[in-house]
Structure 1
Amino acid sequence: MKKHHLKYASIADILVLTESLGLLIKTRLWLQILIGMITGVALGVLISARGMALVDRHVAELIAGWLALPGYIFLALIQMIMVALIFSSIILGVASCGTGEQLRRLGIRIIPYFLCTTTVAVMLGIVLAESVKPGAYISQLMVDNTSLDSLSQAANAKEFVTQSDASAARHLNFPKTLANLIPSNPLRAALDGSMLQIVVFSIFFGIALLMIQSARAKPLLDIAMSLQEVAMKIVSWAMLIAPLAVFGLLTEITTKMGFDAILGMGGYVATVITGLLCLLLFYLGLVYVVARISPLSFLHNIRELQLLAFSTSSSAAVMPLSIETATKRFAISESTANFVIPIGATINMDGTAIYQVIAAVFLAQVYGIDLSLPALLLLSVTTIGASIGAPSTPGVGIVVLATILGGIGVPVSGIALLIGVDRILDMSRTVVNVTGDITACLVLDKLMLRQT
């Protein structure tokens, strides 16, 4: 009888714990996303041909493809309203500044700030790559085999080279590139997904509204406000499937990639991750010094944002959550958040910058190319320029990297070495990118308050 009583009590305890855990999971998005990440990776390892291979490779790919469906739906929903959200948010952010003087003070701070943090990221990446020398651990034989085999087998490797040539041609005429930032046809820019042109158009539109009579501007501002609310409502629907999206996307990634690709490039992966962590510490220092927020409190408040950014590999996809986090978790003014975050998601790519410079130096070391000081300076300037305005979508970093390699004489075919581990690094640098956007909001908001 006693035994039965103990058994009954233990079952009751388990039920209570299960109910509590279920409530905890239901009310905490970050925990749901974390569970989705862990279970997705675990399932990917179980069914992957490079893991435990519990099922046939074709069956594993079929399972992973169907499980990733919620993830593709999630990304499609976000991308569907991204142009509307950026357009309305920037207009409202500019209009919320109240006066042209306040907008001018915010504008003249944001660009120098982004340039400074990107420069810090690039310098940090060069110092790390030159100190650790991850390319020294890869034999020349492996390079020769990988560059030939991977380029012949991977369908997208050729695409990288083609896009690299096109990008390089565009960068030859820098004045024309600057002029092209102003869209001659905003609708074409929206169709092409040229986010930087959309940002520029939105800034001009918002400034014009700020400068005309308020009675004339009010109808358009009301439309922008309604447009933003509609976009955020669609985002809230997308967030309902975010944990399932994370689970499916990571299952598919792990199934295709496996862990052997990461282990084979361990030195390079470790160097990039170390650089990203150092950049994260730099942000934490900025937040503590300027905003007087402790690092632990800051990380606690952005954990959902970071986890979702890691899972989707797109700072644009999490932009709505970035705005919500900035305004609700840190009480940043809506004018600053609506202005800084859409621009930051487009041009504030510090995580991408540090990845690109480490990857470039790594491949130079692999091919035995000694980068002189002028070459490193050229690499720095090129990386800073290339990272600004790079599309905030998954996988774009390695395409931009192809442009950078040509400038320092590194064979573009070396990108084949990086393809296998790029996805996990893409996810990691996106976390740093979105953290940098929130940091920029905090720093600029505090600077604006001190000037008033």
Structure 2
Amino acid sequence: MFRSLSVLVLAALVGGLVLGAAIHATESPVLTTGAETFEAVGALWLNALRMTIVPLVFSLLVTGVASAADAAATGRLAARSFMIFAAVLVVAALYGAGAMNGLLALWPIDPAGAAALTSAAQAGEVVATPTGFREWLPTLAPANPVRAAAEDAILQIVVFGLVFGFAVTRLRHDLRAPLIAFFRAISETMIIIVRWVLVAAPLGVFALALGIGLRTGLDAAGVLTQYVVMVSAVTIGVLIIPYALVAVLRGRDLGRFARACAPVQVLAFSTQSSLACLPAMVERTRDELGASARVTGVVLPLAVAVFRMTSPVANLAVAFFIVRLYGLEPGGGQIAAAIAVSLAVSVGAVGLPGQISFFASMAPICLALGAPLEILAILLAVEVIPDIFRTVGNITADMAVAAVVPEPAEAPEAEDPRIPPQASGVV
């Protein structure tokens, strides 16, 4: 469903831009008024998506933390996997922020094209106030979580959600289970609403793209192309991390690892689904890399369930592109907050379809940077291309962790007390 929807949304984007540009060229007052009226449909669709963000993010964090804690408690192999997952995610997030800002310095966004693209957002004057560490640190803990939710103070919501989720894991099972089920029900309800809203995505994106074309013609097309190229390049670049991990910990097996990954990467490119690639990952990791059944049976399913290396990378790349698009200059505190939020939401949004996770993951990061959310609706239309490389990077990282995770030694078998110890010496 979502793959065909992505094609329809992309077609709606192109159609809206072309039709808007044609109306712009005619300078017809009647057609212009009609197009501006229809543009309100896009604003309504965008607001319908925004209304799910806070409850969805909070409930996903609570259930994500609880699920991860339960998985880590299953044994030493899972715990060691989680340590590698966490280290890779932190390195990937730092890489994503640095690489995208570096690319933007080498290839700045054209101001005219940026103005054309942001004209559809209708976000008013957007200002990101630089925040120093001394001002930023107290904002981590929300004095009033309800007010933080109302004011879209997303970092405070994320912190509260993480603390709440870890606290839930300390409850007795009879108290913990219904509470986790409650928040899982909330997240599933929000996802159902998002699915409903996304059914209308071609119409909503068409209306928003119509507004862009109406005001600026096709000037925004070049910026959208730059966005796709830059986000895809940053996402492809993160592949160096799993290969470096294997090279450092299993240096002589790097070529073998590359050969084992290649067929699965092709499958990921075509399916855009880590879950669909799981059987092939298990087969190649077991047969080509010599991993035990215990590793392939625990680490790979666990990685698919809770680990997405490319999530913070691509999400930060998108967020920093939006920041430059609006000419914002976030402070160090806001950048640190965005990186922290990207790591947190990468756990909560695992397993969601691409269109849903795009909004659930991107909205908190943009809010942390002080960037508007309206432009996300336009970028959703072209996300289908970078999403291919997200999946390829994720399955490569999953297989790398399975290849390097130290497997706990088997416990020695206890001696049967009924069998006397063998005598030493020559009989």
**Aligned equivalent of 2:38:** 66
Q: Read off the aligned partner of 2:38 and give its amino acid letter.
A: W
User: Given the superposition, is the C-alpha separation of residues 382 and 427 from structure 1 closer, same or farther in structure 2, using an over 3 Å criterion?
Assistant: farther
**Aligned equivalent of 1:38:** 14
Q: Report deviation, 1:437.
A: 6.8
**Aligned equivalent of 2:125:** 159
Q: Read off the aligned partner of 2:125 and give its amino acid letter.
A: E
**Aligned equivalent of 1:6:** none
CA separation in 2, counterparts of 1:425 and 1:29? 14
Kept after mapping to 1: 8 A contact 2:148/2:156: yes
User: Given the superposition, is the C-alpha separation of residues 214 and 96 from structure 1 closer, same or farther in structure 2, using an over 3 Å criterion?
Assistant: same
Equivalences for residues 262-277 of structure 1 within 5 A: 274-277=229-232
**Aligned equivalent of 1:84:** 55
Query: Matched residues, percent identical?
Result: 21
User: Given the superposition, is the C-alpha separation of residues 333 and 180 from structure 1 closer, same or farther in structure 2, using an over 3 Å criterion?
Assistant: farther
Equivalences for residues 253-268 of structure 1 within 5 A: 253-260=212-219
Q: How many residues align?
A: 342
CA separation in 2, counterparts of 1:72 and 1:445? 39
Q: Read off the aligned partner of 1:349 and give its amino acid letter.
A: L
User: Given the superposition, is the C-alpha separation of residues 108 and 205 from structure 1 closer, same or farther in structure 2, using an over 3 Å criterion?
Assistant: farther
Kept after mapping to 1: 8 A contact 2:142/2:160: yes
Unaligned stretches of 5+ residues in structure 1: 1-24, 303-324, 364-377, 403-421
User: Given the superposition, is the C-alpha separation of residues 158 and 387 from structure 1 closer, same or farther in structure 2, using an over 3 Å criterion?
Assistant: same
Q: Read off the aligned partner of 2:316 and give its amino acid letter.
A: M
Kept after mapping to 1: 8 A contact 2:300/2:399: no
Q: Read off the aligned partner of 1:45 and give its amino acid letter.
A: A
With 431-440 and 206-215 compared, the bigger mean Cα shift is at 431-440
Q: Does 1:385 align with 2:341?
A: no
CA separation in 2, counterparts of 1:277 and 1:128? 12
**Aligned equivalent of 2:318:** 351
Q: Read off the aligned partner of 1:301 and give its amino acid letter.
A: T
Equivalences for residues 94-243 of structure 1 within 5 A: 94-97=65-68, 98=70, 112-125=87-100, 128=103, 159-160=125-126, 163-164=127-128, 167-168=129-130, 171-172=131-132, 174-243=133-202
Secondary structure, aligned partner of 2:169: helix
Match of 1:301 among 263, 266, 271: 271
Unaligned stretches of 5+ residues in structure 2: 244-256, 280-298, 343-360, 408-427
Kept after mapping to 2: 8 A contact 1:327/1:337: yes
Q: Report deviation, 1:187.
A: 1.1
User: Given the superposition, is the C-alpha separation of residues 178 and 262 from structure 1 closer, same or farther in structure 2, using an over 3 Å criterion?
Assistant: same
Q: Report deviation, 1:424.
A: 11
Kept after mapping to 2: 8 A contact 1:345/1:437: no
CA separation in 2, counterparts of 1:130 and 1:27? 33
Q: Report deviation, 1:349.
A: 0.9
CA separation in 1, counterparts of 2:225 and 2:384? 16
CA separation in 2, counterparts of 1:228 and 1:295? 31
Secondary structure, aligned partner of 2:141: coil
**Aligned equivalent of 2:234:** 279
Q: Report deviation, 1:45.
A: 1.9
CA deviation profile, 1:68-104 (whole Å, cap 9, x unmatched) = 50x3333323222222222222222222231665797
Secondary structure, aligned partner of 1:180: helix
With 118-127 and 329-338 compared, the bigger mean Cα shift is at 329-338
Q: Report deviation, 1:339.
A: 5.9
CA separation in 1, counterparts of 2:324 and 2:121? 25
CA separation in 2, counterparts of 1:27 and 1:117? 27
Secondary structure, aligned partner of 1:392: helix
CA deviation profile, 1:396-416 (whole Å, cap 9, x unmatched) = 5997589xxxxxxxxxxxxxx
Kept after mapping to 1: 8 A contact 2:93/2:312: no
Q: Report deviation, 1:112.
A: 4.5
Kept after mapping to 2: 8 A contact 1:92/1:225: yes
CA separation in 2, counterparts of 1:431 and 1:26? 10
CA separation in 2, counterparts of 1:394 and 1:96? 21
Q: Read off the aligned partner of 1:87 and give its amino acid letter.
A: F
Superposition TM-score, scaled by structure 1 size: 0.56
Kept after mapping to 2: 8 A contact 1:32/1:243: yes
Kept after mapping to 1: 8 A contact 2:265/2:395: no
CA separation in 2, counterparts of 1:327 and 1:241? 26
Q: Report deviation, 1:246.
A: 2.3
Q: Report deviation, 1:37.
A: 2.4
Secondary structure, aligned partner of 1:96: helix
User: Given the superposition, is the C-alpha separation of residues 31 and 193 from structure 1 closer, same or farther in structure 2, using an over 3 Å criterion?
Assistant: same
